[in-house]
Structure 1
Amino acid sequence: MKMESYKVEIIPGTSDSVYITFPKNQGKKEYLFLDALTIELSEAPKEITIRRERSWRRTFRSWRCMYVTITSLDSGKELYFPVFREIDSTGLTIKENSAKLPHNDTSEERKESLLNNLKFRETIDHHARVPDPVPAMSSNVAEASPTGSRQNIFLSIIQGIISIFPEQLHFTYKPGLPGFVRGGNFFELPKELWFETVKIVTLAYNAVKIEAQTIFLKLWNFRRKWEEIDDIKNVFWFPSKKAAYVAKNWKEDTFFGKQFLHGCNPIMIEKYKEGQQKIPVETLEKVYPDIEENIKNGRIYVVDYWILDKIAAAIFDTPQFLAAPIVLLQQTANELNPIAIQLKQEPGEDNPVFTPQDNKAWLLAKIWVRNSDFYYHELVSHLLRTHLMGEIFFIASYYMADQHPISRILRETGRYTLPINITARNTLINTGGFFVEYTAIGKEHWEVLKRATKKITYESLCLPDNVKQRSIDKLKNFHYRDDGMDIWEALYEFVRGVVNGLYKNDEDIQKDPELQQMVSFIYNYGFLQKPDCPSSLKTREEAIKYITMIMFTCSAQHAAVNHGQYDIYAWMPNGPTTMRKPPPKDKKVTEKDIMDTLPDITTTLQAMKVTRFLSQVPKDFVPLGNYPEEVANESYMRGPLREFQKTLTEIGMKIRERSTQESEREFPYEYLDPAGMENSITI
């Protein structure tokens, strides 16, 4: 029998005595590993068993093996055996290419994995119930989380992180909303889903540091009130470079328009089409005689905050006010300029159309728009369309066994999503949280989320389809769209390589019960059984697009709406969280009217604190396209992943090169630089 020479390496190495057995070779002879071991085998091993020497001295010492490689010295072919767990004296058997599709694997290990994943779903009180026709849930969700009047949000975050006596987690259904995990904290999740220690320490450190700085600013501004815009500089002590730019340019119409393209909420603008006008054309023609021609020629764009219409506004018993503005913008050679703002949905004598000729009234109208944009951005673009949908995607991945190749990718796409969402619900949108205490939305954020959920479709989460739906392909200098499309295409090609390497044909997709169950769960509890959303996948192309949508939502889309929060909102007039006076009914506006409308110092400091905390870069940052060895080194991943990482590097270089141009230097759009985004939603 011909023997071949193989080099065996264990990563990481250890000074302990480690033994490796190769079944079907040499009568299961056991080899002692010392360093790089060279052995002769009759055939390439399909599996190995690895164990540590039995010794009482090692009982209290752990050793975690990452992986074992076995390289043929004759052909150079490398075999890869992922381990990634603690090794003891009982021995652990590892098979090469341990990720397998269901029809290729009927092993006991897979059955055990599926059973464990079922237990996980039961841990969060999910029993695969199908909503009929919409999931039902207790109406008092806002009260179900930890309560407390005007509690300190950052102390709450720390308490939520370190509490070891949590309430039980539940998978929760609220009519008209995606399901989510409510109550308790992340310590109730399986241990592998917890924050790592470095993450907990980083969150606590940032919370304490920012809280201390906020307390100092409160004391510094004790008994002060706003008299004029410049007074806001008294709390503007820790701006980012971009926030400082915002503070200097926020009044400019060109910058106001630019934020719909390069701010942290670039998903609302769309072409203003004939037959959809809510602002009377005859009113606009008094200022813009050629308005109808510009609408027909596609030069006019609109941002419509209809979702806020008739939402009750209050902070406890203190009256606050909301608007539901409509903004018209005109594309010029190189800029996007606002030309009209109507602050309520229905035209009327007490609802004037403001234009740039209206001086202080125009400035106040723009501030109202920025207030509305804050609500839509934080609740819809950020919370709903990334965090809540990302949570559904991650939970759905537990319908697949750990050995499923797609589940391994999606688990990394959902890293930290559950614990960060649980912590946020216990601190930001609970009774006593930031949105209830310091925004005019208050507890009505549930109604806003419900309205927004009705508008979520599968295609709205797929960037190429979304761009087409909004007719924004011709908008100039729209870096979010262009960078996002580059990343979408890179993700799509990566997923294509993986899927086509795993599934031989469309029939293989249809016969994968674990993948189909995942899609069905998302259809029921994420898309709420909308007829235009997939309930199953029939072809490889459908699977490629669907998985790309999940990965894009949890990486690039989240980066686009998360990373710029402090840059955009640190200067309070550019994103006030509440308004103390109602929208103006005429154009007689003074600076005092503006200052009386803007939030007070306390609310301003709370908003600055929250947005600054949410914009911190995590210490255990994992860039997009970086996967642990047990995912990256599988045969179906190596080629596609190598190309994916290469493409991401090229995209990042292009973005950074663009930022050096004179027109971009002061306020560069870099939120979609792949080097600055993670695979998953982690903050």
Structure 2
Amino acid sequence: MARYIVKVQPRPTDRVYIKFSDSQEKEYLIQGDTTIELSETPKEITVRQERTWRRIFRSWRCMYVTITSLDSEKELYFPVFRGIDSAGLTIKEDSAKLPHDDTSEERKESLSKNRKFQETIHQHEKDPVPEAVPMMARRNIVVEKPSQKSSTSNIFLSFLLGIISIFPEQLHFTHKPGLPGFVKGGNFFDLPRELWFEFGKIFTLVRNAVKIEAETIFRRLWNFCRKWKKIDDIRNVFWFPSKKAAYISQNWKNDGFFGHLFLNGCNPIMIKRYTEDQQKIPMETLEKVYPDIKENIQNGSIYVVDYGILDDRGDILKKTPQFLAAPIVLLLQTEEELKPIAIQLIQKPGEDNPVFTPQDNKAWLLAKIWVRNSDFNYHELVSHLLRTHLMAEIFFIASYDMADRHPLSRILRATGRYTLPINITARNTLINKGGFFEEYTAMGNEHWEVLKKATEKITYESLCLPDNVKQRGIDKLKNFHYRDDGMDIWEALYKFVRGVVNRCYKDDEDIQKDPELQEMVMFIYNYGFLQKSDCPSSLKTREEAIKYITMIMFTCSAQHAAVNHGQYDIYAWMPNGPTTMRKPPPKNKEVTEKDIMDTLPDITTTLEAMKVASFLSQVPNDFVPLGEYPEEVAYESHMRDPLMEFKSTLKGIGEKIRKRSACQEFPYEYLDPAGMENSITI
């Protein structure tokens, strides 16, 4: 016989009895911490409340029961989370288990159900994946065919149709060459029921779309037959601004604020330290204006933002021409601020490709507007769509290689809540043929080519913030709140995941012999990282697993919040983020305000851009903040203590951010944990 201590939470005020799987009909009265003797370790318990006439219509809610061995100090955990009445309720021991600890029929049924989900998106039929891919991770990949043009040019009507209508194309897992795989066709109703938008989410999307469309109609009517002649005329459509958008409309010309946006705007992942081997702007040109430029480069004071990935994109000719540059921006870190000192709008130097500096008056302003246009296009396609939405989709699909009972799947599924339906809907409306990106941005229908170039540059380390900061040489930049807040959240996530992993896996060998975890990593390697040699195809140690899971969680929560939440703030004032340009980059420095207005997008394009930015920045009403999990997950034995500490750490990070923000004219709050979700839901 072995002795055990039984604890029931919350402690019952009435008499509660527990019967164990080895004790036949014998029941034990539980009063406080109760010591009992059993012949074998219990795997199943029955909990009931004392039967009295007063409790016929009343139950007591039990959270969980723990049974701790006095001999080995091993704790067994029985999650309950439901009302207990006099009839009794049978509960099995802690349901989250690794594959080698669980050969139950329930696990087999869970894996079978997940396989059916994968079959829904056709991952298990004919497989054209290269022969080099191991059989354990091969999937059916449907080669992408040109999609039909949307039947409506109205982006928001199209978006609503994407939510509620049945598209003729069947849902399938698509692998465009050079891009991460994704689910395309149909709509979210083709997914398993548990992955649909809930009614409240649909209602919020429709309500927000109707509200924003009404605002846009009023703007159109007010500006009917008007044309912009000067920059200040843009205020005729600048209604309903956020506080930050209003601030930008007053300060967007300021060089210091222009530099600040590379650190704390929507796209803080571009800037890096400038070194001599990166030079694309002729040094002799720079030295004419800045004699000490070489010294500043050597001491690490010069930083660069290079949009070379946008180079060689053909200019799109539609009803009106649309142009896009691939600028290079040099910035100087001073004691007070990060200031732009030079802009070259075309990658290759030449006589008709001037280097603009702050001494160039209106030509300098136009050059900065060109940079903001490039930044918008890079941000939306690469930093936002590719590096968060598309990668998160692969992470979520891969998690279905794990059974529902797998302890890590319960964390990873939370990082994918609503990600598939929001991505499917967006692909049917915003990035489809005839959608917003094709009609109203300088990318036109070439955005897929830019995405391919960007996918080539995705590495595992580029998605791990500490490694990314080191690679870019940006650890010394001042007032870089995205970096600082992001590192705090990364460390909090890492510590949380470490607590969970070390409780689930007793050593590195446990990691290596977990086929479900290894299958997930292999899937991501094949269809997310596209078999790049510097990306993991398996995990060998607990530390490797901790970093990998942290990367997934950070991408789906903090990184998406950083690139998504500020879209309306940053882009509502159109000159700060024009989606396209109507004239090519200037070939000389003779620029007037008329040249600027002729280059900026027209009213129609501006209104469409404001509409989309506003819609994508809305906070959902069924918001689930980072660190919140269902009770049956949060109170599992391996989750309770790490999660409690994680929530406390996140609370401290939020308090620090809010304290800092109170002293800032343009506060950076996009990484406040209280304002970010576990997953990508918009």
**TM-score normalised according to structure 1 size:** 0.90
Aligned runs of 1:451-470 on 2, under 5 Å? 451-470=453-472
- Partner of 1:653 in structure 2? 655
The one-letter code matched in structure 2 to 1:426 is N
CA RMSD of superposed structures (Å): 3.3
Task: Give 1:24 shift.
Answer: 3.5
Matched, 1:113 2:118: no
- Partner of 2:101 in structure 1? 104
Aligned runs of 1:414-563 on 2, under 5 Å? 414-563=416-565
- Partner of 1:148 in structure 2? 151
Task: Give 1:95 shift.
Answer: 1.7
Task: Give 1:535 shift.
Answer: 0.3
- Partner of 1:672 in structure 2? 671
Aligned runs of 1:374-453 on 2, under 5 Å? 374-453=376-455
User: Distance between the aligned counterparts of 1:173 and 1:164, measured in 2?
Assistant: 22
Q: 1:92 to 1:109 in 2, by over 3 A?
A: farther
Q: Deviations over 1:381-400 (max 9, x none)?
A: 00000000000000000000
User: Distance between the aligned counterparts of 1:395 and 1:93, measured in 2?
Assistant: 33
User: Distance between the aligned counterparts of 1:453 and 1:109, measured in 2?
Assistant: 39
Task: Give 1:433 shift.
Answer: 1.1
Runs of 5+ in structure 1 lacking a partner?
12-18, 52-63
Q: 1:243 to 1:531 in 2, by over 3 A?
A: same
Aligned runs of 1:272-291 on 2, under 5 Å? 272-291=274-293
Q: Deviations over 1:72-123 (max 9, x none)?
A: 8999x99754468999xx9996422100001100001111111111111110
Identity of aligned residues (%): 76
- Partner of 1:186 in structure 2? 188
Find the residue that maps to 1:329 and give its secondary structure: strand
User: Distance between the aligned counterparts of 1:91 and 1:204, measured in 2?
Assistant: 44
Task: Give 1:10 shift.
Answer: 10
User: Distance between the aligned counterparts of 1:426 and 1:164, measured in 2?
Assistant: 11
Q: Deviations over 1:541-592 (max 9, x none)?
A: 1111101100010011001000110000000000000100110000000000
Task: Give 1:154 shift.
Answer: 1.5
1:363 aligns with one of 359, 362, 365: 365
Find the residue that maps to 1:125 and give its secondary structure: coil
Is the CA contact (8 Å cut-off) linking 2:415 and 2:678 kept in structure 1? yes
The one-letter code matched in structure 1 to 2:668 is Y
Q: Deviations over 1:307-345 (max 9, x none)?
A: 110112326453211100000000000200000000000
Q: Deviations over 1:126-153 (max 9, x none)?
A: 1284732799754534x25x62252x22
Find the residue that maps to 1:171 and give its secondary structure: strand
User: Distance between the aligned counterparts of 2:595 and 2:170, measured in 1?
Assistant: 48
Q: 1:195 to 1:328 in 2, by over 3 A?
A: same
Q: Deviations over 1:137-189 (max 9, x none)?
A: 54534x25x62252x22122222222357642100000000000001111111
Task: Give 1:20 shift.
Answer: 9.6
User: Distance between the aligned counterparts of 1:419 and 1:310, measured in 2?
Assistant: 33
User: Distance between the aligned counterparts of 2:212 and 2:298, measured in 1?
Assistant: 50
Is the CA contact (8 Å cut-off) linking 1:315 and 1:437 kept in structure 2? no
Is the CA contact (8 Å cut-off) linking 2:331 and 2:341 kept in structure 1? yes
User: Distance between the aligned counterparts of 1:166 and 1:368, measured in 2?
Assistant: 40
Equivalent pairs, count: 658
- Partner of 1:200 in structure 2? 202
User: Distance between the aligned counterparts of 1:166 and 1:20, measured in 2?
Assistant: 55
Q: 1:65 to 1:217 in 2, by over 3 A?
A: farther
User: Distance between the aligned counterparts of 2:484 and 2:262, measured in 1?
Assistant: 14
Matched, 1:126 2:123: yes
Find the residue that maps to 1:599 and give its secondary structure: coil
User: Distance between the aligned counterparts of 2:568 and 2:62, measured in 1?
Assistant: 41
User: Distance between the aligned counterparts of 1:187 and 1:92, measured in 2?
Assistant: 35
- Partner of 2:354 in structure 1? 352
Is the CA contact (8 Å cut-off) linking 2:144 and 2:174 kept in structure 1? no
Task: Give 1:625 shift.
Answer: 1.0
Q: Deviations over 1:249-305 (max 9, x none)?
A: 000000000000010100000011012100000011111111111111111100000
**TM-score normalised according to structure 2 size:** 0.90
- 289-298 or 259-268, larger mean C-alpha shift: 289-298
The one-letter code matched in structure 2 to 1:479 is H
Q: Deviations over 1:404-452 (max 9, x none)?
A: 0011100001111111111111111011211011112111010010000
Task: Give 1:496 shift.
Answer: 0.8
Find the residue that maps to 1:636 and give its secondary structure: coil
Q: Deviations over 1:464-519 (max 9, x none)?
A: 11011100111111111111111111111111111111111111110000000000
Is the CA contact (8 Å cut-off) linking 1:301 and 1:328 kept in structure 2? yes
Task: Give 1:377 shift.
Answer: 0.3
User: Distance between the aligned counterparts of 1:9 and 1:355, measured in 2?
Assistant: 67
User: Distance between the aligned counterparts of 1:118 and 1:334, measured in 2?
Assistant: 56
Task: Give 1:39 shift.
Answer: 11
Q: 1:508 to 1:667 in 2, by over 3 A?
A: same
Find the residue that maps to 1:616 and give its secondary structure: coil
